[in-house]
Amino acid sequence: MRLNSNTQIVRALSLSGATHSIITGDIGGTNARLGLWQCIDAGPGNSAQQTEVYSETYPTSAFVTFEDCLQAFLDESEVRSSAAAIKAAALAVAGAVENNRCPMTNISWVIDGKQLQQRFNFQVAVLNDFEAVGYGIPALGAGDLVPLTDAPMAPEAPKVVMGPGTGLGAAQLFWDSGIQGYTVVPGEGAHATFAPRGWRQMALTAYVTARVGHCEIEEVACGRGLELIYEFLLSDPTFRGPAIKSISNMRRLAPQRPDNKPTSGVRKLAPEITAEALEGDAMATQAVDIFLSIIGAEAGSMALRCLARGGVFIAGGIVPRLMERVKTGVLLDSFVNQTARPRFQYLLQTMPLFVVTNPKVGLIGSKEYAMRLVRDQQLQQAWADAPAGDALQ
């Protein structure tokens, strides 16, 4: 057989029905979720058969290092009895990843892919948790998504994903014809300066700036942001009443403490605000609607940056719980916003918008990335084994 392209090599390899195992991981500050998957190559043009053999969740406090935690997983009888050799692991980590290494933020673990590979003798990739979400997006089915528009997904077009949770994650997906799949480009756009719309959001910006010094998008577009919005609405009835006459009055109108920072009113946590909004509480509903309008506006901005005709996906733990308010149209209206973006509304209307309802999208992404690592290993081995003339023709 003459193998003169990467695609032909991969197709040839997939004829063998090879079986291998991969490890997936979702590593947070409190828990480490690990899974063992068995994958069987299913032949040309078909997806590999994937079966989760075993999964376990470990409290991070029970282990001094992540290496100890992973060793405990590998020592589980269900893992040791697996016949297929472990070829790769992909670990989604809550923290900044550089050179395949992540010092965890809230615990003393350092997750180093190179060191793990040397110790356990299989390839290890360390991914930012939202990068893993990005790799999970193309693998989702219709049951994992709630469409907010009728626009179709353009094949091989850019996609964007964002997710308000503890913070605000974001990533862009671009088609790579060489691997016939999407490459995820994570970013820190959530730390850009918030661009308010209307007098109420301008007042909110002043309120947040007085508290933390600068109003980034993330400050008002995550769980903590929803809490700030609620506090802001409670801080003074002016913010809930007629339009403020001038921006210069906003800081003056915020009630002050002796340390010259706004008071916070009655503090509530995001789950409380969410629950009260769904029960019909007027103040909580207003806070949630402001929050969703901010999410919609940022989703629209992300979509325009890369012309995301492949889809705009809102993941994370907050928005799926607010679908009753999402269905009122407040998020979609802000996404398109005919007033703020009159020249581009037609463009945004061509970009499909979804809420991701599958909470395991990050683990799905870890699995997809680990499988990609195995395919790369197969490809490299095939190139190494192929006669030089065949490989180059």
Q: Taking the domains of the chain in order of start, what are their residue ranges? A: 6-140+359-392, 189-356
- At 179 the pLDDT is 84
User: Which has the higher per-residue pLDDT, 40 or 369?
Assistant: 369
User: Whole-angstrom Cα distance, residue 300 to residue 293?
Assistant: 11
- Condensed to tens digits (0 to 9), the pLDDT of residues 107-160 reads 899 999 999 999 999 999 999 989 999 999 999 999 999 999 999 999 999 999
pLDDT band per the 50, 70, 90 thresholds, residue 19: confident
Instruction: Give the pLDDT score at 180.
Output: 87
Residue 178 has a pLDDT of 85
Tell me how crowded residue 140 is: count the other CB atoms within 10 A of its CB: 19
Lowest mean pLDDT among 9-23, 40-54, 216-230, 351-365: 9-23
Residue 7 has a pLDDT of: 54
Encode pLDDT of 236-245 as tens digits: 666 555 434 4
When pLDDT is averaged across residues 200-209 and rounded to a whole number, the result is 93
Residue 62: count other Cβ atoms within 10 Å of its Cβ: 10
Please report which confidence band the pLDDT of residue 248 belongs to, taking 50, 70 and 90 as the band edges: very low
Global confidence as pTM: 0.83
Q: Which residues contact 36 (CB under 8 A, 6 or more apart)?
A: 21, 22, 23, 52, 53, 54, 55, 73, 78, 79, 82, 86
Instruction: For domain 6-140+359-392, give the fold.
Output: Nucleotidyltransferase; domain 5 (3.30.420)
Q: What is the CA radius of gyration of the chain?
A: 24
Query: pLDDT tens across 252-295, in order?
Result: 444 443 344 444 456 799 999 999 999 999 999 999 999 999 99
Determine the Cα–Cα distance for residues 172 and 216; give it in Å rounded to an integer: 20
Does 3.40.367.20 match the CATH number of domain 189-356? yes
Q: Quote the CA–CA distance of 159 and 309 in Å, as a whole number.
A: 7
Calculate the average pLDDT of the chain: 85
Find out whether 90 and 366 touch, Cβ atoms under 8 Å: yes
Assess whether pLDDT exceeds 60 at residue 22: yes
DSSP 374: H
Mean pLDDT calculated for residue range 211-222? 92
Q: What is the DSSP string of 253-273?
A: HS-B-TTS-B---S---HHHH
- For 35-74, write each residue's pLDDT tens digit: 999 987 655 445 668 889 999 999 999 999 999 999 999 9
How much is the average pLDDT of 195-205? Answer: 91
pLDDT digits (tens, 9 = 90+) for 322-345: 999 999 999 999 999 866 677 788
pLDDT greater at residue 92 or residue 45: 92
- C-alpha span between 208 and 261 (Å, rounded): 10
Residue 8: the pLDDT is: 54
Q: Is it the case that residue 364 has pLDDT exceeding 80?
A: yes
In the chain, alpha helices (H): 6-14, 66-74, 77-80, 113-120, 129-136, 198-212, 223-235, 248-253, 270-278, 282-306, 323-326, 330-336, 345-348, 361-385, 388-392
Q: How many other CB atoms are there within 10 angstroms of residue 355's CB atom? A: 20
* Burial of 59 per CB tally in 10 Å (0-12, 13-18, 19+): exposed
pLDDT of residue 244: 40
For the chain, what percent of residues have pLDDT higher than 70? 83
Q: Which residue has the higher pLDDT, 353 or 341?
A: 353
